[in-house]
Amino acid sequence: MRVIPAKFWVRFLTLCSLLTLYVTFTSSSIVYGHANLVDAVPKQNSVLDKSPLIINLKFTETLSENLSSIKVYDTQGNQVDNRDSKLDPIDRTYLSVTLPETPKGTYTVIWRNVSTVDGHKVRGSYFYSVGEPLSSSSFSIEESMFLYNAEPLVKSIILIGILLLFGSAFFNLIILKPISLTMLTATNINIWQITLIPRNILLLAGFIITLTGCSAQLVLHVSSLYEVTTLNSFLNSIVSIFFDTTWGKLAWAKLCILLTLPISYATYHYKQSDQRENLLIGSQYLVIATCMVFFIAHSLSGHNASISSLYYQGVVINILHIVFSGIWTGSVVTLTVYSHCLRNRLSTINLSDFIKQAFLKFRNVGIFSIILLSITGLYVGWMQVNKPEALFTLYGITLIAKVLLISLAIIIAGINTYVIIKFLKNPTSMTRIAIALITIESILIILIIISVGSLKSLEPAKSAQSILSEQIQFDQYEQGINLEMAIVPGSLGLNSMNLNLTDITGNSIQNAENVIIKATYLNEDVGDTTLYAYLTDSATYETEPLMLNLEGIWQFEVLIQKSSGLDSRFAFRENIGSSNPQFGELDVFVGRILFGLTILVLGILLLVLSIIYGGWHDKYGRIYLIIGVIGVSIGLVISIYSRTIELNNQATNPMLPDSISIQIGKNIYRENCVACHGLTGIGNGPLYETLRPIPEKDANNLLVHVPLHPDNELFTIIKYGKDGTSMYPHESILSDEEIWHLVNYIKTLK
């Protein structure tokens, strides 16, 4: 068999890659999911002494200039703004409108925006008043769950088509072709030739389904965003969306990528017209190459690409996830179709032999794909559902349903591979049951893809409101005490704090000497607020109302002081005042480490697969070995490097000041700091008299100086020392992680 010309693949991949790169780098900057409101000037529900001259709104994402606006109305429904909504030319997450001087009264601000990444339209509103109390409470315009009613269906169709296209081509090359050669030698039956028609039908069906879905998505998306009513306005809008939004560029890119497939196939067919076998094999490679480029464009417009701090990690993980999804789901559906088609073309024994070989050859690849699908899926799940409470959103519930369907499909695949194929000796029974089970598995796969289409249409759980709770809740166990803490309502303004303390048997603890809560705003150094909780008649602890007046990340530390002297410490962090305060921000430090570990696991699995295939002595073994070594190396570098960089450049201490961190810091302090600063930190250590230069009065007293510095300054002083003093650097003695633990401990010194 003649090798497929390398020049053809180089030209094809270069063309598609350049197109994708153009779309990527000419797009707007990396941004978040839907463009949710995060700040407003004037504030929501504010009462102003004088009329504002401008309304400034900040959103989580850059906006489309032509599709975003602010309107201000008085109580009579008259628009009172100057109708000059505009984006900030430097930071396009800011939208503003100017106003003339307005009389006393209550005013409603109504905003409408369109995300430049996912192209979603979001509306909202709030009240403010001038010179008098608000005449009504704030409200939000109800927004449809989906951009258009058919959005989940359309996205499901696209996924079904592209996964079928990719998976069938993969199955044909990796599974079907080797089986065909084996059976041709043993039985003189050419499976490759027999499956020609269903093979081409599957590829054509995958292409048409994907193209239809992408076209429908573009049409419906444009119609919804621009609210077009005439054909002429629609044609203008379908061009405008390319320039107005990054989503539009990517949507057009995916269509162009798909359309390169028939053009490239026609060119390749012309060049290989006298080499039919090469043409059949080459077309499979062509399909896989096209799908891979499509996956890149598709991933750039997904939910994972909407998290700026983990943008590249999210896109790479999403590409890996969809590739392994295609290998598993597309291959199973393809085998199902081939098995049904071959029922009338092969004898029972030959059909049984084909199914056995297909399962055995796909077993290792299938297991590998499912493992990687699970690992990347966990990462995706962590990015979109970053707390258990977020599972109680529509997104979270749909995700749970998807996981259950996947689990059921995997169980059926295991039964088929390790029970039916292995132990059923009767060819007729084995064939009948195996085909029935893979048919059920294929149906489950379709349902899984439909659930994924719904997930891609819904607001991610980290941004959606919980359907069960209107408060922030914490639950943590430490040193024999279980703390259940609620912050109500968990938003900007006054909040009540309720604590329920129970012991290991579940009995209420009412004899704590002190229950102290410290609330610290982490985005800026503005000090902290300390509250003492009191025991109520209902055997729970409450505090005076706490004012959370700054939007961002807040840290809550709870100290339970007991008569035994064995205090318990708890610590939590939460995002207050964003589009969804319940679920907070992703821990970027954790995200980058998890990404490195995911790549590391991928490399290890490839090395295992290499060993299974014979290592360096086998063609596929060598490929898996080389890629595996590269994956392990990259994974280690990312994990170690990200950890070092992340810990060293934190403005906020990445280590929660809980009991574990405090104990670690205490041990480090006693080993490295007591000699100079003393056991209690007042600066009376045994080496104090020998320090040069001699510290000035109280210069060595941590109780005086630690409260004067935020965490990041304390970290810098400990790591790099302080010029002109006897405080020498600990950079070569302590790791960044140890220094952060030490910072937590010295802040507890009293």
The confidence score (pLDDT) of residue 28 equals 39
With beta carbons less than 8 A apart as the criterion, state whether 521 and 549 touch.
no
Residues 536-554 have pLDDT tens digits of 888 899 988 887 766 677 8
pLDDT at 67 over 60: yes
As a whole number, mean pLDDT of residues 632-640 equals: 81
Residue 25, pLDDT above cutoff 60: no
pLDDT (0 to 100) of residue 3: 43
Q: Tell me the C-alpha distance between 365 and 708, whole Å.
A: 58
- Local confidence band at 24 (pLDDT 50, 70, 90 cut-offs): very low
pLDDT band at 175 (very low <50, low <70, confident <90, very high): very high
Higher pLDDT, 311 or 170: 170
Quick one: tokens of 353? 């032999």
699 vs 170: which has the higher pLDDT:
170
Per-residue pLDDT at 499: 92
Cβ proximity of 47 and 58 under 8 Å: no
Band (pLDDT 50/70/90 cuts) for residue 659 is confident
Q: pLDDT for 663-676, tens place per residue?
A: 999 999 999 999 88
Helical axes 736-746 vs 619-648, angle rounded to 10°: 30
Of residues 467 and 485, the one with the higher pLDDT is: 485
In this predicted structure, the answer to whether residue 442 has a pLDDT above a threshold of 60 is yes
Among 120-134, 255-269, 473-487, 642-656, the range with the most confident prediction by mean pLDDT is 473-487
**Whole-angstrom Cα distance, residue 710 to residue 715?**
9
Residue 29, pLDDT > 80, answer no
Q: Phi/psi of residue 365, each to 5°?
A: -65, -40
Return the pLDDT at 278: 55
- Report field, pTM of the whole predicted structure over 0.85: no
Mean pLDDT is highest, among 441-445, 698-702, 717-721, for 441-445
Closest C-alpha among 304, 325, 303, 306 to residue 315: 304
**How far apart, in whole angstroms, are the C-alpha atoms of residue 119 and residue 116?**
5
Answer yes or no: is pLDDT of 30 > 50.
Answer: no
Q: What mean pLDDT is reported for the chain?
A: 81
Across 123-134, average pLDDT: 79
For 367-422, the pLDDT digits (tens) are: 888 888 888 988 888 887 766 767 777 888 888 999 999 999 999 999 988 888 88
- Residue 466's pLDDT is 45
The predicted model gives 191-204 an average pLDDT of 91
Of 76-80, 266-270, 276-280, 599-603, which range is least confident? 276-280
Q: What is the mean pLDDT of residues 504-515?
A: 88
Over residues 345-372, the pLDDT tens digits come to 899 899 999 999 999 889 888 888 888 8
d(CA 750, CA 743): 14
pLDDT cut 90: percent of the chain above it: 24
**Is 580 a residue whose pLDDT tops 60?**
no
Instruction: Indicate if the pLDDT at residue 725 is higher than 90.
Output: no
Please give the pLDDT value at position 92. Answer: 83
Highest mean pLDDT among 73-82, 331-340, 578-587: 331-340
State mean pLDDT over 598-626. Answer: 83
> Buried b / exposed e across 182-221, counting CB within 10 Å, b at 16+?
ebeeeeebebbebbeebbeebbebbbebbbebbeebbebb
Handedness of CA 642, 643, 649, 651 (dihedral sign): positive
